[in-house]
Amino acid sequence: MKKRINRLFVIISVVAIVLSIGLVAAVYHSLFRKQMMSDLKEYADLLKELRWDEGAEEPEYFETMKDMEIRLTLVSPGGEVLYDNKADITQLKNHLDRPEIREALNSGEGQAVRNSETLASNTFYYALRLEDGSVLRVARNADSMVSMFTSVFPTILWIFAALILLSLGLAHFLTEKLLYPISKMAENMDSEISTADYEELIPFINTIQKQHQDIIKNARMRQEFTANVSHELKTPLTSISGYAELIETGMASETDIVRFAHGIRSSADRLLTLINDIIRLSELDGSEKEPVFELLNLREVAESCVENLRRNAEKSEVTLKVCGEDCRVQGDRQMVEELIYNLCDNAIRYNNAGGSVTVSTNICKSPEEGRKVGSVILSVQDTGIGIPKEHQDRIFERFYRVDKSRSKSTGGTGLGLAIVKHIVEKLGATIELESEPGRGTEIRVIFPEAKGI
């Protein structure tokens, strides 16, 4: 980037310098020409009062004019040269073909500039028609642009080199100054950048800083997750290994062996559930498994999930019921089933004997609490132990449990609500939680209105 900016600066400087030199030369040349013509006009105005009779004495200042290299020519209306202070008039051809003479004969005055053959000099001509119809022409030689340029070329070259050096130094200095805050930020992404200097860069910087923070946060979360996973896997594996060792030593009685085998089986089941949840979570985390949307009757899906959980509910002495209306939602059947299953499973496991779980599906009819009319609300309400306020924000985090032992004893992995949160995001829905310790919990998932597929 530095090299590019530097190169650009230098290119701009070279172009600017060359253009300036060219422009100055052009302006100078035009001014010079104007000045020359106005001088010649003045001479002609002075001389026009003279009588140009043959044999008349030449005024003194004719000599001065000769010294100044000024050529005077008098041409008859027919183009014949009547007088010339520098050439033999008998040698001169008819002058009617000279543009300045023709112009003067036509309009009263004429001008022309002609290059010498070598291009080293220019001759400036000014012609004026006198009262008697003849034309007085005043001419003067001057160095041409080419020769002027050739003579000042070495100086121009020096100035050019000096300016290039100066612009190289300036380009380097400015590039450094311009990029300093950015390179400082590259060293430390969290460093503040002066908003006054880089107003246009602020959105870009904010995005980069946010991405940087997200990357760091994600890396930390992954690290924590890996540590948690290892810890969670270790517990059932340790007990499996412990039971197996006891059986291996041959010290366990017949009944103990059955008990230990049961321990091994439940730890293995626990491991399996845990691994399944971890796999599911990583699938939902990535983008390889996108939902396959279809039109679903949410109430129907809820009823079939509830049926699958009825035995668990009975074991926990919890009554399960579905109410509400038929609601159409767009969703991935497997994901919606998983979502309802996890919510109901929690509502049963964190309930009290004799408690109840009510699953309801309703269409939002009035725009309350920011919900859109037509959106579908799935609610899973229990009369269980509830969640204290301070935990409510965190229960959707991976492995976050309010009561670890209750979660484990009821077969929880601490990943159910994290999976729910991912599914809700994938389906474009939102989730709400309302809970009071001792009274129960209600979790609502709001699906957008199904537009038909």
Specify the residue, 259 or 401, whose C-beta has the smaller distance to ligand ADP: 401
- Evaluate whether 414 touches 293 at the Cβ level (below 8 Å): no
Whole-number minimum distance, CB 443 to ligand ADP, in Å? 7
Specify the residue, 26 or 272, whose C-beta has the smaller distance to ligand ADP: 272
Specify the residue, 73 or 346, whose C-beta has the smaller distance to ligand ADP: 346
Q: At 223, list the tokens.
A: 């690290």
- Length of the chain in residues, anyone? 453
Map residue 63 onto helix, strand or coil: helix
> What type of residue is 445?
V
Whole-number minimum distance, CB 394 to ligand ADP, in Å? 9
Whole-number minimum distance, CB 267 to ligand ADP, in Å? 16
Whole-number minimum distance, CB 386 to ligand ADP, in Å? 6
Specify the residue, 41 or 408, whose C-beta has the smaller distance to ligand ADP: 408
> At a CB cut-off of 8 Å and minimum separation 6, what does 437 contact?
385, 386, 387, 388
Residue 400 region by backbone torsions, left for phi larger than 0, else alpha for psi between -120 and 50, else beta: beta
Please give the Cα distance from 433 to 239 (Å, whole number): 36
> At a CB cut-off of 8 Å and minimum separation 6, what does 400 contact?
391, 394, 414
Please give the Cα distance from 319 to 348 (Å, whole number): 9
Q: At 239, list the tokens.
A: 């007990």
> At a CB cut-off of 8 Å and minimum separation 6, what does 55 contact?
none
By the 10 Å C-beta count (0-12 exposed, 13-18 middle, 19+ buried), 261 is classed as middle
Specify the residue, 110 or 412, whose C-beta has the smaller distance to ligand ADP: 412
Whole-number minimum distance, CB 280 to ligand ADP, in Å? 12
Whole-number minimum distance, CB 431 to ligand ADP, in Å? 12
Least Cα distance to 305 among 209, 380, 195 occurs for 380
Specify the residue, 236 or 384, whose C-beta has the smaller distance to ligand ADP: 384
How many other CB atoms sit within 10 Å of the CB of residue 40? Answer: 21
Residues in touch with ligand ADP (CB under 6 A): 346-347, 350, 382, 384-387, 395, 400-403, 407, 412-418, 441
By the 10 Å C-beta count (0-12 exposed, 13-18 middle, 19+ buried), 348 is classed as buried
Whole-number minimum distance, CB 399 to ligand ADP, in Å? 8
Specify the residue, 70 or 343, whose C-beta has the smaller distance to ligand ADP: 343
Whole-number minimum distance, CB 306 to ligand ADP, in Å? 15
Enter the DSSP assignment of 59: P
Whole-number minimum distance, CB 406 to ligand ADP, in Å? 7
Specify the residue, 65 or 274, whose C-beta has the smaller distance to ligand ADP: 274
Specify the residue, 359 or 417, whose C-beta has the smaller distance to ligand ADP: 417
Whole-number minimum distance, CB 448 to ligand ADP, in Å? 24
Specify the residue, 137 or 398, whose C-beta has the smaller distance to ligand ADP: 398
> At a CB cut-off of 8 Å and minimum separation 6, what does 350 contact?
382, 384, 385, 406, 410, 441
Q: At 285, list the tokens.
A: 């985390």
Q: What angle do CA 194, 196, 198 make, to 5 degrees?
A: 70
Q: At 131, list the tokens.
A: 């009262």
Whole-number minimum distance, CB 438 to ligand ADP, in Å? 11
User: How many angstroms separate the first and last alpha carbons of the chain?
Assistant: 50
Specify the residue, 377 or 380, whose C-beta has the smaller distance to ligand ADP: 380
Q: At 69, list the tokens.
A: 């290299």
